[in-house]
Amino acid sequence: MAQVLREIVRNHFREKLAAGRVVSKLSVRIARSVEIVHIAKSCGFDALYIDMQHSSISLETASQLCIAALGIGITPLVRVPSADHVSRVLDGGALGVTVPDIESAAEAAKVVAQCKFEPAGERSTGGGLPQLQYRSWPQTEVVEVMNEATTVFVNIENLAALEAIDDIAAVPGLDVLMIGTNDLCAGLGVPGQHGHALVRDAYRKIIAAARKHGKTVGVGGISDRKLIAEYVAWGGRVISMGSDLNMITSAGTARAKYVKELSDATSK
């Protein structure tokens, strides 16, 4: 039975990571409707990262996007604005959450507790989960399969977390240490300098702690491809490739610029 349930609750992002591969995710910040899910899937992203920390996306919209993502096999992850939102987001269909600004192992352990059902955690059982297509299953199997399929991230993006990284990485049930490079740079006093020696040292330290405790490291907020490749070579495995918003502005700026150049050349 649990095997049947496992076929329904697939987390492709997690499976690909387990196979040792590098995975990509796209942040959703301004899209409001399920088209973005199909677009992300067609582009080839492994996960959709619905950003409720830095957007005005509602829980309701986040849930609709998650459910659409479950339907076509791109993993729905949600960045919550704080740990208080974890359980409703997971009830809404997410297969993973990330909590920003974690500072200690205790905070990380609290996130795990909110993501996992007993005995691994304290997630409240509401019944009727979209991840199970609202089917009824024996609760022991639901717990086993959902705990397995739910990916728990914490964002490592401040000096306190960096200091406590070994303890945080040791928290059982935690899957990914997602490095928020921009906030980390700000904390280290080198804003925007993603390749600065201090930032490299931080990456080395985080990757070493993760490796020691069998955790995965994510690279977030970096657009420099060479630097991403370097951090992947060191051991980074989850790559944030920007948001819907900056995809639009990146392509749009290039296209509008092309027409302006055409205009300049023509009206000479």
Partner 1 sequence: MQRLSEIVRNRFKETLAAGRVASTLSIRLPWGVEIVLAAESCGFDAIYIDLQHSALSLETASQMSIAALALGVTPIVRVPNHNSETISRVLDGGALGVLAPHVETPQEAQAIVSSARFAPLGERSTGGGLPQLRYRHWPQEDVVKIMNDATVVLVQIESPAAVERAAQIAEVPGVDGFMVGANDLCAGYVIPGQHGHELIRSAYARVIAAANKVGKWVGVGGISDQKLVAEYVKLGARIVATGTDVSMLMEVGTERAKFVESLNS
In whole angstroms, give the CA distance from residue 31 to residue 55.
Answer: 10
For 110, the token pair is 């609290």
Which has the closest alpha carbon to 242: 28, 22, 1, 7? 28
Interacting residue with partner 1 among 9, 36, 86, 177 (CB under 8 A): 36
Interacting residue with partner 1 among 1, 2, 21, 201 (CB under 8 A): 21
Of 30-38, 164-172, 182-190, 202-210, the segment contacting partner 1 by CB under 8 A is 30-38
Does residue number 228 form part of the binding site for partner 1 (CB under 8 A)?
yes
In whole angstroms, give the CA distance from residue 74 to residue 72.
Answer: 6
| Residue 179, strand partner residues | 156, 219
Task: Give the residue carrying structure tokens 């301004």.
Answer: 30
Name the helix (H) or strand (E) containing 201.
helix 197-212
Task: Give the residue carrying structure tokens 């059902």.
Answer: 117
Active-site residue flag, 85: no
Judged by CB, which is closer to partner 1: 29, or 116? Answer: 29
Does residue number 33 form part of the binding site for partner 1 (CB under 8 A)?
yes
Q: Given 54, 85, 194, 196, which residue is catalytic?
A: 54
Does residue number 258 form part of the binding site for partner 1 (CB under 8 A)?
yes
Does residue number 179 form part of the binding site for partner 1 (CB under 8 A)?
no
Give the three-class secondary structure for 29: coil
At what angle are helices 225-234 and 197-212 packed, to 10 degrees?
30
Does residue number 247 form part of the binding site for partner 1 (CB under 8 A)?
yes
Active centre residues (catalytic): 54
Interacting residues with partner 1 (CB under 8 A): 21-24, 26, 30-33, 35-36, 39-40, 42-45, 56, 225, 228-229, 232, 239, 241-242, 244-245, 247-253, 255-260, 262-263, 266-267
